A and B are shown apart, each in its own frame.
Chain A
Amino acid sequence: MTDQDPDTAHSRKPNPGAPSSAVPVSHVESSPRPVGSRAAFYSLREMHAYMRLAREWDLRFEKMFRTGALSKWYSSVGNEATTVASACAIEAGDSLLTLHRDSGAILRHYLDINALLPGILPQDPAIRKPMGGDSKQRFLRLACQMLGRENGFSSGHERSYHYNLFEEEWGLFHIGMISHLGSMIPVAAGTAFAFQQQGSDRVAINFIGEGATSTGDFHEALNIASVWKLPFILVIENNRWAFSTPTSQQYACDHLADRALGYGIPGVQVDGTDAEAVLSVMQTAVARARAGDGPTLVEAMLGRHRGHSEGDDSLQQVPEQELQQYGEQDPLDLAEKRLIDGGVFSRAWIDEVSERCASLVIDTVDQAMSMPEPDVHQARSIYAD
């Protein structure tokens, strides 16, 4: 080691956040699913349908990126259990603040999957009532947004998930990201502040990566939210790599969830590939927020499946064995295995869901591709009237 380049030596230090770590984690919530419960399988089936839709969405855009049809893509692959389950825990009227790895939360929050794929789920939801309004139109506009079309939520002015969608009549309040990671944490807490001020029992949830926990906004917002007991749930999607930086170079504590102690709020670490476990943690956090008891910090442990953005080489920093482990813990595979092993659903049914989701995504994205691009001469005001 003595004559080795110190930087290289440093980068080869084992990443303590990696799943190979044998350190027992005190806060991990495992799935609370009662064995053999039919209701639990129906809940998982509901989440699975949205997870599959999110997966097909990402796979389609990844493909488009590879063929040059899209200039940039950030993939949500691997995050679907956390994002879909989290969005299952909220309702119309709550606010949602997302990153670029949260297509699962967006699709779950925006859409009635039955309106898009009739009969794919029973009419009576097992977990969450779908958002009202026109799901087909919303889904098409979302595709237009990804492709910079005029009909997208920002009329081509902002890229991918950097947009907002408010539909007040349905209680849809979604605020997208800016590129400065961590910056939306106070903004999310601010939406929670509005709910508190207005005397409503609505809550705000915000997703961040583990890298953003190093920013000042993480501390400032979580501290104020805790002091003011804001109805706010901050979900860290800890995929153990921020661009190319492993957790060993990002923070020195054992678990980010432990930081909650410093704010006087609950902090929970959960297996983010287990949709049922995430759902349980989030339902508890949301109930606490609705009751006026304040924020919760949730750390969902995930794996890195893709580069920071598609086409960059950041994944090369992840050791091969670690990457392989993440692949083996694919949340879609885990959910499907559980559904089939339970004897309630068949592989054929799972395959049918996948095929229908893939076809829907392809058709919708194709339709968006054929829609008008923005008029390059249009003026766009910097001020509200």
Chain B
Amino acid sequence: MQTDTSTESDDTLYVDAISAALADEMRADPDVVLMGQDIAGHGGAFKITRGFLEEFGDQRVRNTPIAESGTIGIAIGSSMLGIKPVVEMQFADFVSCGFNQIVNVAAKMYWRTKHPVPLVIRLPGGGGMGAGAFHSQNIENWFLHTPGLKVVSPAYSGDAYRLLRAAIRDPNPVLYFEHKFLYRRERSPLQTAPIPDRILGESSILRSGTDITTVSWGWMTHRTLEAAEILSQEGIEVEVIDLPVLSPLDHRGIIASVEKTQRAAIIHEATCTGGFGAEIAARICDEAIWSLDAPVRRITYPDSPPPFHKGLEASRIPSPERICSELRQLLEV
């Protein structure tokens, strides 16, 4: 079991930040209940809830049958009567089996009835592990197109901790995308700032630059920073913007940056067509088109499912080298 991390702490693994956020919020609020497949005795497919059964008991740490729709629906109903459920999808990909409950029941409930649905669904997603088409997808855009949901996608341990606690406190349904590739690779300090009681749109400039603005989230933020470091040595200064919260989207920081750099690229691991990069590009065009010196570029996965073979998969995911190459091209326009 994790120690209480609400005080200042050293570098924390991304996976431990998620565990700590769950445990701390469960200690703070007895109405928080976890539901998911194999999360109790086994501790979950990624061991995020290891030790939870012992600390919180089987009433609050509920193994479910393999029934995403049923589980999410039960979470919705209970959330309307005072429970704060956190549902773990074993893999983000499986949430498609609970799609109707999310987009038609949970997302529309407040608009229809003014009754809040304080529900969190955790979605371990993303590729990089050679796990094939049904354990690697980046599907945030399915939900970004649905009014009434909040969608977060933290790139750092600190954001992962803060946003998960805030998501549990938020009175709205929140889809919390956690990147599996970052679980045991990303390590950074947990923030000590007070935890907000809701998810608000936010963007943060991780690196200042004057030549190109990039927008990314999750794993791709790390790769974009690597690319920015390489380009800096060539004299190209990239302004790297991370979006820990995708919905609601606060795009003001993006617009201000693009007005300064006059060039923009969106990097995402999700497939291209109809992806969230298109939405961000459209907002840049809506509000800053006269500042642009080049077309807005999207650097994304091709429009195909994730292949199994590691080499095949790696060739699809935007790499620091590919990001560098495309950003160089953008400067030549």
The interface of chain A, by Cβ under 8 A from chain B, is 95, 153-154, 157-158, 162-164, 166, 173, 175-176, 178, 180, 183-195, 197-198, 204, 216-217, 219-221, 223-224, 227-228, 380-385
B residues with a Cβ closer than 8 A to A are 33, 59, 62, 64-65, 67, 69-83, 100-101, 104-105, 108, 110-118, 147-148, 150, 171-172, 248
A384 to B107, CA, bound (A): 11
| Distance between Cα atoms of A56 and B136 in the complex (Å) | 57
Which residues does chain A contribute within 8 Å of B67, judged by CB atoms?
A: 220, 223-224
A–B pairs, 18, beta carbons within 8 Å: A153-B113, A173-B81, A183-B73, A183-B101, A185-B73, A186-B70, A186-B71, A187-B101, A188-B77, A189-B77, A190-B78, A197-B83, A220-B65, A220-B67, A220-B73, A221-B73, A223-B70, A384-B117
> Is A178 in contact with B33, judged by CB distance below 8 angstroms?
no
- Whether B172 lies near A190 (C-beta < 8 A) is no
Tell me the nearest residue of chain B to A197, going by C-beta. B83
Q: Are B69 and A216 in contact (CB under 8 A)?
A: yes
Q: List the A side residues contacting B147 at CB < 8 Å.
A: 382
Beta-carbon nearest neighbor of A383 in chain B = B172
Q: Which B residues lie within 8 Å of A190 (CB)?
A: 73-81
Of all chain B residues, the one with the shortest Cβ separation from A166 is B115
Cα distance A201–B81 when bound, in Å?
14
Q: Assuming the A-B contacts A178-B105, A186-B101, A195-B81, are A384 and B116 also in contact, with contact meaning beta carbons closer than 8 angstroms in the complex?
A: yes
**B75 adjacent to A180 (CB under 8 Å):** no
The minimal Cβ–Cβ distance linking B93 to chain A, given in whole angstroms, is 17
Q: How far is the CB of A206 from chain B (nearest CB, A)?
A: 10
> CA–CA, A111 to B294, complex, Å?
66
Whether A384 touches B172, Cβ cut-off 8 Å, given contacts A163-B112, A178-B108, is: yes
B33:A197 contact, CB within 8 angstroms: yes
- Select which of B81, B110, B111 is within 8 A of A95 by beta carbon: B81
* Residues of chain B contacted by A193 (CB below 8 angstroms): 74, 77-78, 83
B112 engages A158 (CB within 8 Å): yes
Do A224 and B71 contact each other (CB < 8 Å), given the known contacts A154-B113, A175-B77?
yes
A175 to B172, CA, bound (A): 17
- Known contacts: A173-B81, A186-B72, A194-B81. The answer to whether A223 contacts B65 by CB under 8 A is yes
Sample of 10 more A-B contacts, CB < 8 Å, known A183-B105, A187-B105, A217-B70: A158-B112, A158-B113, A166-B115, A180-B104, A186-B101, A194-B77, A204-B77, A221-B70, A380-B111, A382-B111
B113: A residues at CB distance < 8 A:
153-154, 158, 163-164, 176
The reply to whether A384 and B171 form a contact with Cβ atoms under 8 Å apart is: yes
Q: Is B110 within 8 A of A382, CB to CB?
A: yes
Among B72, B100, B148, the most chain A Cβ lie within 10 Å of the Cβ of B100
Report Cα–Cα, A173/B81, bound state, in Å: 9
> Is B69 in contact with A224, judged by CB distance below 8 angstroms?
no
C-alpha gap A173/B80 in the complex (Å): 10
- In the assembly, what is the distance between CA of A157 and CA of B171, in Å? 21
Contacts of A204 in B (CB 8 A): 77
Assess the A191–B69 pair: CB atoms within 8 A.
no
- Residue of A175, A194, A216, A383 ringed by the most chain B CB atoms within 10 A: A383
Q: Which listed residue, B69, B75, B112, touches A154 by the CB 8 Å rule?
A: B112
B104 in contact with A194 (CB, 8 Å): no
Q: Report A158 CB to chain B, min CB distance, Å.
A: 5
For the complex of A and B, the 3 pairs showing the least CB-CB separation, nearest first, are A190-B77, A186-B73, A220-B70
Q: Which residues of A contact B111 (CB under 8 A)?
A: 157, 380-382
Of all chain A residues, the one with the shortest Cβ separation from B59 is A197
A176 to B114, CA, bound (A): 13
Tell whether, in the assembled complex, residue A381 and residue B77 are in contact, meaning their CB atoms are under 8 Å apart.
no
Which residues of chain A are within 8 angstroms of B78 by Cβ–Cβ distance? 190-191, 193-194, 197
- Alpha-carbon gap, A223 to B65, bound state (A): 8
| A residues less than 8 Å from B118 (CB atoms) | 384
Tell me, rounded to whole Å, the shortest Cβ–Cβ distance linking A222 to chain B. Answer: 8
